[in-house]
Amino acid sequence: MLLKKKKGFLQELYLIEIIKGLMITMKNMLFAPKVTIQFPEERRNYSDRYRGMHYLKATNGVENCTACMLCPTVCPAECIHIEAGERPDKEKYPVKFEIDLLRCCFCGMCEEACPKDAIKLSNIYEMSTTYREVYDKQFLLEQRGNK
C-alpha cells in the first residue's frame, strides 16, 4: 500500500525546490564553459585524418593521377568514374575523373589504394547544397581544404 507522506504548507508550494533547480540552471548557463560554437563565424578544427571532400593532387600543374583505376576498383560504393586517355606530355591521364558524392561513403579506401598520391580526402566537411551534381576533374583539382 502506498503511504502518502504528510507535507507542510511550504513544501506543498514546491517553491524551495523550484529555486534550487533554477540555481543549477543559472549556474550552468552563466558560468560553465560552452560546448557549442558560433558556426559560420567560428569553425571547429578537425583532426588531420578527417575524411571529408575529395580532391585531386597536382604537381607543377599536372595532375598526379595516371588513371590506373585502382580507386574505382577498391571503391565499395562504386562512385568513382574514370576514363583514361593519352596526351603528349603524359602517357596515361584521366580524361574524365568524376566522383558521385551522393554515393560516396567516405571510407577513404581510394586514398589508401592510390599509388600516385593523387586522390586525397580533405578537411572540407561542408558539402550540403540544394542540389548535388557529380563532381568532375576540374572541380576536384581546385578543392584543397586546409591541406
Partner 1 sequence: MPKCIIDGREVEFTPGQNLIEAAKGAGIDIPLFCYHPGLSVVAQCRMCAVEIEKMPKLQTACSTLAAEGMVVKTKSQKTVENQKSVMEFLLANHPLDCPICDKSGECDLQDNSYKHGSAYSRTTEERRTYLDLDMGPVIKKNMNRCIHCTRCIRFGSEIAEIREMVALKRGNNTEITTIDGRPLETDYAGNYADICPTGSLTIKDFRFKKRVWFLEKVPTVCEGCSKGCNMEIHQDNNQIYRCVPRENKEINHYWLCDEGRFNFHYVEREDRLLDPARTKTSGLEVCDWASSIDLAKAALAGKNIAILVGSDLTQEEAAAVLQFKEQHYSQASIYHFGTPGILSTRDDAPEDRILKRKSKTANLNGLEKLGIRGFSKLSADVTGLLIIRGGRATLPADIDGVEKVGIGVFMKDQALMFSVILPGLSFAEKDGTILNYEGREQRIRRALQPPGQAKGLSEILMMWANRKTSHGAA
CB of 84 vs partner 1, minimal distance in Å: 4
CB of 67 vs partner 1, minimal distance in Å: 7
CB of 86 vs partner 1, minimal distance in Å: 7
Please identify, using beta-carbon distances, which residue of 113 and 124 lies nearer to partner 1.
Answer: 113
Please identify, using beta-carbon distances, which residue of 116 and 144 lies nearer to partner 1.
Answer: 116
Cα–Cα distance, 138 to 136 (Å, whole number): 6
Cα–Cα distance, 115 to 34 (Å, whole number): 44
Q: Which residues bind partner 1 (CB under 8 A)?
A: 66-70, 73, 84-86, 91-92, 115-116
Within its chain, how far is the Cα of 34 from the centroid? 22
Cα–Cα distance, 83 to 47 (Å, whole number): 33
